[in-house]
Structure 1
Amino acid sequence: MLRSMYSGIAGMRGFQTKLDVVGNNIANVNTAGFKRGRVTFQDMLSQSSSAASAPTATRGGMNPSQVGLGSQVGTIDNIHTQGSRQTTNRALDVALQGDGMLVFGQGFDPTPAGFAGFAPEGIAANVELQYSRAGNLYLDDNGFIVNPSGQYLMGFQANGTNDGVTTQVDAINIPKTADSFSISSDGTVNYVEAGETKVAGQISLAKFSNPGGLEKLGGNMYQTTQNSGQMYVDSDGSGDFTAGADSILYTPESEGTAKIIAGALEMSNVDLAEEFTEMITAQRGFQANTRIITTSDEILQELVNLKR
């Protein structure tokens, strides 16, 4: 009886975790760039009452007899499917249509004097990088494009073309004297100054071999892990952000990377109908496991009552 009770407890714990994940998904249904979570289960160690045996000349073979000890959470996955697009008509809102993530940097001085310590690859060696699909961007007081947390949007200088020269990557700045600015589908940030159109830079994208391996940091941000895989890039627009790491960036619309849509945001990929279904399934699963415990308790009570 105790074995069945422990199986019920294990099942309740698993379904509680599932409810936690589903609840987080529903809470973020309107969060820009949010990627939903998913829980999978696996069985726990089984206890063998008899081992398998091979057939003989006088007797057939026998399968093993085992009793399972419940279930446990196998994985909690981040599902990086495309989210729906919401039009905002705001110049600094960008949505990614396709693979890739926006790259944000912090921990460095983006002014020209602050870039004295560049690595040979053209990347500031002390830049701390994080990644996001949330494209609600802003201009700070110095004209740098930042996210809501103040992290700088990283991009290629000029138009991102290489011509055999390593492209420098740093924060994108729009001068205060600019009359207007726009972002094109290939990530080029243009601005108009004194009637002349100029290029401030080109937004860079990171593309991972295993985006599900990225770790959520909160604030719609992700960081790399040992299982997220290396970032990939087109030729020469690359550089190492950390010693020994193959950290490489793409330009938008190259090598299968995303197209940038200005004046829009990629919203959450949460499907409320699916989440409510999963919530009901988790609730019923939790209730069923509580019945295992109460039924086992009733049987134990009957055994105790045998001694009177």
Structure 2
Amino acid sequence: MIRSLYTASTGMFAQQINMDNIAHNISNVNTTGYKKARVAFEDLLYTRLPAPRTGPDHTTLQLGSGVRVAATVRDFSDGAVLHTDQMLDVALNGNGFLGVSTDRGIAYTRSGSLQVSNGRLVTTAGHPVLDTRGREILINRDISHVQIDEKGYVLGMRGNRDDMITLGQIGVARVANQHAMVAIGGNLFISNESLDIGAPGQNQRALLMPGFLEMANVQVVEEMVNLITAQRAYEVGSKAIQASDEMLAQANNLRR
């Protein structure tokens, strides 16, 4: 009876983490560049029980001990794009990330809401965006009307001149093993791989869409279905604990 109590409790604990993850996905439905996560489960150790018979066709008896959360896996599929018509908004269409400089080194993001701050092209969180050579894109104070074209070139006007000059080109970084990336918050991911950055569209890198933002790839209806499924699994686990408790109580009353 004690085994069934423990086994059912592992299922409830795993489903609680699953529901927490689903709630996190739903809460970020309007977060630009957010990539939804799913919980991966794996079964726990098995106990081998004595077989009722021997022989060439005997069956091995194994009793499992429950489930545990193995990992959270990110879905890096593209999200829907939103037309903002803002000159410094950019969406990535395809494989790749924007490389940014942070206190933890180089990080990666799909959130293309950019701005000019302290003479640099930065994200809304203030992280400098990297160019095709992994360097920050600098913008002098006398530059105005800064905008981004479809090839990732950052353009602007100097002083009273009417012609546009090129200030740099936004780089698109590739990560070979995206599922090994670690989310650190703020729409950022880090990777142990060395920086692989180049021009948009080069070597199957993502293309840029100026005036657009990539939204979260979260489907609310799908997440609600997953939430109901997790809730039902949690409820069944609690009923299994209740049934095991009642059976244990009956066994304790046999002597009375």
Q: 1:195 aligns with which of 162, 172, 175?
A: 162
Return the letter of the residue paired with 1:138: Q
Return the letter of the residue paired with 2:138: N
Q: Within 2, Cα distance between the matches of 1:21 and 1:61?
A: 45
Partner of 1:213: 180
Q: Within 2, Cα distance between the matches of 1:67 and 1:191?
A: 68
Return the letter of the residue paired with 1:22: I
Structure 1 stretches lacking a partner, 5+ long: 108-126, 157-167, 231-245
User: What SS does the aligned partner of 1:152 have?
Assistant: coil
Q: CA deviation at 1:76?
A: 1.0
Partner of 2:108: 131
Q: CA deviation at 1:172?
A: 1.1
Return the letter of the residue paired with 2:219: D
1:141-161 superposed Cα distances (whole Å, 9 cap, x missing partner): x331111221111113xxxxx
TM-score under structure 2 length normalisation: 0.94
1:188-217 superposed Cα distances (whole Å, 9 cap, x missing partner): 112233122211000011101111211111
1:257-281 superposed Cα distances (whole Å, 9 cap, x missing partner): 1111111110000010110000000
* Cα contact 2:157–2:163 (8 A) shared by 1: yes
Q: Does 1:13 align with 2:9?
A: no
TM-score under structure 1 length normalisation: 0.78
Identity %: 31
Q: Within 1, Cα distance between the matches of 2:15 and 2:183?
A: 22
* Cα contact 2:157–2:165 (8 A) shared by 1: yes
Partner of 2:251: 303
1:116-148 superposed Cα distances (whole Å, 9 cap, x missing partner): xxxxxxxxxxx92111001111111x3311112
Q: CA deviation at 1:80?
A: 0.6
Q: Within 1, Cα distance between the matches of 2:43 and 2:12?
A: 13
Partner of 2:128: 152
Q: Does 1:250 align with 2:198?
A: yes
| Most deviating of 89-98 and 183-192 | 183-192
Closer, same or farther: CA 13–33 of 1 in aligned 2, 3 Å: same
Q: CA deviation at 1:53?
A: 9.2
Partner of 1:27: 27
* Number of matched pairs: 254
* Cα contact 2:134–2:197 (8 A) shared by 1: no
User: What SS does the aligned partner of 2:176 have?
Assistant: coil
Alignment of 1:1-308 (within 5 A): 1-50=1-50, 59-106=55-102, 128-140=105-117, 142-156=118-132, 168-193=133-158, 194-225=161-192, 230=193, 246-308=194-256
User: What SS does the aligned partner of 1:155 have?
Assistant: coil
Structure 2 stretches lacking a partner, 5+ long: none
Return the letter of the residue paired with 1:183: I
* Cα contact 1:53–1:61 (8 A) shared by 2: no
* Cα contact 2:175–2:196 (8 A) shared by 1: no
1:277-302 superposed Cα distances (whole Å, 9 cap, x missing partner): 00000000000000110000001111
Q: Within 2, Cα distance between the matches of 1:137 and 1:176?
A: 17
* Cα contact 1:52–1:61 (8 A) shared by 2: no
Closer, same or farther: CA 298–146 of 1 in aligned 2, 3 Å: same
Closer, same or farther: CA 52–188 of 1 in aligned 2, 3 Å: farther
Higher strand share: 2
Q: CA RMSD in A?
A: 1.8
